Structure 1
Amino acid sequence: MMFRITKEFHFSASHQLKSLPAEHQCARLHGHNYIVEVELSGETLNEHGFVRDYHELAPLKQYIDECFDHRHLNDVLGHDRVTAECLAQHFYEWCQARLPETTAVRVSETAKTWAEYRP
Structure 2
Amino acid sequence: MIQQIYPFVQHPYRYELNKDMQFAAAHYVPSEHAGDCARMHGHTYFANLTIAGDRLDESGFLVNFSTIKKLVHDKFDHSVLNGHSEYFGDDSPERYPTTENVARVLCDIVQSYLDGMDNKPRCVQVFLRETPTSYVIYRPGAGGAHE
TM-score band by shorter chain is 0.7 to 0.9
TM-score (normalizing by structure 1)? 0.79
**Does residue 88 of the first structure (1) align with residue 103 of the second (2)?**
yes
Q: CA deviation at 1:21?
A: 4.1
1:5 touches 1:51 (CA, 8 Å); kept in 2? no
How many residues are paired up? 114
Q: CA deviation at 1:17?
A: 0.8
TM-score (normalizing by structure 2)? 0.66
State the one-letter code of the partner of 1:16: Y
Residue 41 of structure 1 is aligned with which of 44, 48, 52? 52
Farther-moved stretch of structure 1 (67-76 vs 3-12): 3-12
**Does residue 13 of the first structure (1) align with residue 6 of the second (2)?**
no
Secondary structure of residue in 2 paired with 1:59: helix
Q: Which residue matches 1:30? A: 41
Secondary structure of residue in 1 paired with 2:29: coil
Cα separation, partners in 2 of 1:25 and 1:94, compared to 1, 3 Å: same
Q: Which residue matches 1:66? A: 74
Which sections of structure 2, spanning at least 5 residues, go unmatched?
Answer: 1-11, 91-95, 115-120, 141-147
1:84 touches 1:114 (CA, 8 Å); kept in 2? yes
Q: For each residue in 1:82-103, what CA deviation from the matched residue of structure 2 results, as whole angstroms up to 9, or x when unmatched?
A: 0111111111011112223211
In structure 2, C-alpha distance between the alignment counterparts of 1:36 and 1:74, rounded to whole Å: 18
Greater relative contact order, per chain length (Cα 8 Å cut-off, separation 6+): 1
In structure 1, C-alpha distance between the alignment counterparts of 2:52 and 2:68, rounded to whole Å: 17
1:4 touches 1:51 (CA, 8 Å); kept in 2? no
2:21 touches 2:73 (CA, 8 Å); kept in 1? no
Secondary structure of residue in 1 paired with 2:74: helix
